[in-house]
Amino acid sequence: MAADLALWADRYEVIVLEGCDGVGKTTYAMTLMIRYGYQRVHAGRTPEGADLFQRHRSILALPGRLVLDRSFISELVYGPILHGRCRLTPSETLQLLAMVTARGGILVHLTASPEQIHARLVARDGTAPTIAELRTLSARYLMVFSDLARYTKVITVDNEQAA
């Protein structure tokens, strides 16, 4: 793995793993769960009409060490690109970031090239977004994490060589 997970486990109660589909979030989350005792929470897309902010507040309020295998940050990326809007307000986003920070948490931006992500998704699922679509998503993640780094700690991990 490209990251020092033991160091993360020593330092952070909450680890939020984010990045494009196929970048390795679940691999890191499962390792943190099995080796270091984190509770893994996978947050898929919240159905329309559900209170997305409250859902993520509830997740971040869970006791103990948490590793989030996708989180509210995905809404900031995928929402505008795939659905034409983000269902979280800037104020709600800042409140969620404050909860992560208050719990001694960290945001982890996992990256890999669009070509590598594409190959992983095809191998795993038999299908994948186009490389152009993956470039758009990767660029949006970079922009979002640049903004979020003004409010909380962000680590970027190049996961290009991971299997």
Question: Tell me, what's the pLDDT at 124?
Answer: 92
Q: What is the pLDDT along the chain (163 residues), one digit of tens a residue?
A: 557 899 999 999 999 999 999 999 999 999 999 999 999 999 876 777 789 999 999 999 999 999 999 999 999 999 999 889 999 999 999 999 999 999 999 999 999 999 999 999 999 999 999 999 999 999 999 999 999 999 999 999 998 876 5
28 within some domain: yes
For 36, phi then psi, to 5°, come to -125, 5
Question: Tell me, what's the pLDDT at 2?
Answer: 57
Per-position DSSP letters for 40-78, written without gaps between them: EEE--PPPTTS-HHHHHHHHHTSSS-EEEES-HHHHHHH
Domain limits at 25?
Answer: 5-158
Question: Tell me, what's the pLDDT at 161?
Answer: 75
Number of domains the chain is built from: 1
46 within some domain: yes
163 within some domain: no
User: For residue 162, how far is the Cα from the chain centroid?
Assistant: 17
We report the CATH number of the domain holding residue 144 as: 3.40.50.300
Question: Tell me, what's the pLDDT at 140?
Answer: 96
